[in-house]
Amino acid sequence: MIGVKASVGDSVIIRGKSVGNTDRHGVITEVKGPNGEPPWTIRYEDGHEALCFPGPDCVVEHKAQPAES
């Protein structure tokens, strides 16, 4: 995925690619690329951690930024 950027703490959903495969949910724990670009280390719900080079089945949900006063 070109142009995808993320930060530590952002949520990631990897969509199931075929019938019967469930989505995988995780949180980015480390960003290894420059300026938020992949690869990222992701901790999944089951505690498993893996290096991720996201494809078109990956959705990044950015963590909420605190409002400026």
Residue 47 belongs to what H/E stretch? none
6, 26 Cβ separation under 8 angstroms: no
Instruction: Provide the 8-state DSSP code for 33.
Output: S
Report how far residue 34's alpha carbon sits from residue 30's, in angstroms, rounded to the nearest whole number: 12
Q: Could you state, in order of their start, the residue ranges of all structural domains in the chain?
A: 11-61
> Residue 18: its pLDDT value, please?
84
Radius of gyration (Cα) for the chain, nearest Å?
A: 13
> Residue 53: its pLDDT value, please?
94
pLDDT mean values, one per 10 residues, the chain (69 residues) = 82 90 95 95 97 93 74
